[in-house]
Amino acid sequence: MKRTIKHIICGAALLAGALSGVSCSEWTENEKIAVKDPVFGESNPELYARYVAELRAWKQSEHQRTIVWFDNSNKQPASRGGFFSDVPDSVDIVALKASGRLTASELEQVASLHEKGTRVIGAFDCTALLASGEEGDGAGESAEGTSDATTRLRTALETRMAEVEADALDGFTLCYEPTDITFATDEERTAQLALDAVVAEALKGWRQRHPEALLLFEGTPQYFSDVEAAALCDYLVVRCLDAESVYDFGMRARRMCGVEGLPTDRFVWLVSAVPPASTDTTGYLLDESGASVRALGALAEWMLRPEEFGKAAVGIMDVQYDYYNSTMIYRYTKEAIETLNPSPKN
């Protein structure tokens, strides 16, 4: 970045200029001075290389991880807040929400994160697709409606997974929230089981094609008819975006623990970052005293408490909201990471 600084010497020089016939403007010169924003490690490449090596080693060690979901739908961001490569170095996994192939700039950001040992995965929201009803899925109303919904879901999943594979990302996270069909009608049960089959096929297919890649299941696997497919996932994400209090963290996880064959050692709790200038309660919930607090901070503290299930990671939805802070970019994300396990550098 360059800034033009004008040195205007008009104070005492006015008298001398008048006597010599030289104007103030002739005394003044415009000088361009390069002012560069400091880049960590730029002045000492050897020290930075050591830092990166230690950071990568730490990410491969046992610790409570941090997974963030980033909305990368703006392909030409106007500020650094739109660059997912600027997330804190201690973040373990970045999930990119926008569908479509990555741009050249985004692929460079992926490479930058890979250098730090951060894995980048693609995300897809089955629940949002089905709820949108862009083509009128009609699930639960007729056999034809069920077929339309399953076909649309299968096509969208195949397309999104193909994009993630083409961009050589490190894994895939799939959001699917089936409901309890114990008291469902025959039509509702048929519709959900058909959708379950599509999701199970996608999960199993991904694991077969990419045995070493990451695979996450977001939603309600306790109501998913194919427990075997859910068990293939590296992480089971407990979505708490609409949680009302800290008690929801444990309650929602315990609902998953009673299902035979569903692993309980790989839970990730997902809360939302607070949108800038938000006027609603997004990103907030009630603590034990009934006070409204940021969900992320409350979750980080709750993660330190012993439970009967494994607390593998903290998840942050729309982490880009946390970038904008007058005191420190990604302030609350960094505070959560430090609460869980101090890192070499956030």
Give residue 223's pLDDT.
97
Share of the chain above pLDDT 70, in %: 83
From the number of C-beta atoms within 10 Å of its C-beta (0-12, 13-18, 19+), residue 341 rates as: middle
Mean pLDDT confidence for 205-224: 97
pTM score of the predicted model = 0.85
Query: What pLDDT digit, counting tens, does each position of 111-170 carry?
Result: 999 999 999 999 999 999 999 874 443 444 455 567 899 999 999 999 999 999 999 999
Share of the chain above pLDDT 90, in %: 78
Binning pLDDT at 50, 70 and 90, where does residue 39 land? Answer: low
Nearest to 263 by CA among 312, 211, 314: 312
Percent composition of the chain: helix, strand, coil (DSSP 3-state, to 5): 40, 20, 40
Question: Tokens 């006015």 belong to which residue?
Answer: 14
The ranges assigned to domains in the chain are 61-340
- 61-340 homologous superfamily: Glycosidases (3.20.20.80)
More confident residue, 205 or 37: 205
Pairing of strands 2-7, 29-34: antiparallel
Question: Tokens 């195949």 belong to which residue?
Answer: 158
Pick the range with the lowest mean pLDDT from 16-25, 31-40, 97-106, 279-288. 16-25
More confident residue, 137 or 323: 323
Rounded CA separation 270/255 (Å): 16
Query: What pLDDT digit, counting tens, does each position of 276-293 carry?
Result: 887 889 999 999 999 999
Query: What pLDDT digit, counting tens, does each position of 296-320 carry?
Result: 999 999 999 999 999 999 999 999 9
Give residue 147's pLDDT.
84
Pick the range with the lowest mean pLDDT from 174-183, 273-282, 318-327. 273-282
Q: At what angle do helices 186-209 and 143-166 cross, to 10 degrees?
A: 20
Q: Residue 11 pLDDT more than 90?
A: no
Mean pLDDT confidence for 93-100: 98
Give residue 62's pLDDT.
92
Mean pLDDT confidence for 52-58: 95
Q: What is the DSSP string of 238-255?
A: EE-TT--BTHHHHHHHHH
Average model confidence (pLDDT) across the chain: 87
Nearest to 72 by CA among 92, 100, 93: 100
Q: What would the two tokens of residue 287 be?
A: 């603590």
Rounded CA separation 170/92 (Å): 12
Give residue 321's pLDDT.
97
Pick the range with the lowest mean pLDDT from 3-17, 193-207, 328-342. 3-17
H helices of the chain, where? 13-20, 24-27, 45-59, 104-115, 126-132, 143-166, 186-209, 227-231, 247-257, 295-302, 331-340
- Contact indicator for 191, 146 with CB cutoff of 8 Å: yes
Give residue 23's pLDDT.
44
What's the DSSP call for residue 37?
A: P
Give residue 213's pLDDT.
98
Give residue 139's pLDDT.
40
The phi and psi torsions of 271 (rounded to 5 degrees) equal -125, 170
Q: Residue 31 pLDDT more than 80?
A: no
Residue 22, helix vs strand vs coil: coil
Give residue 343's pLDDT.
52
Q: Which residues are paired to 141 by β-bridges? A: none
Query: What pLDDT digit, counting tens, does each position of 225-250 carry?
Result: 999 999 999 999 999 999 999 999 99
Give residue 200's pLDDT.
98
Query: What pLDDT digit, counting tens, does each position of 262-279 carry?
Result: 999 999 999 999 998 878
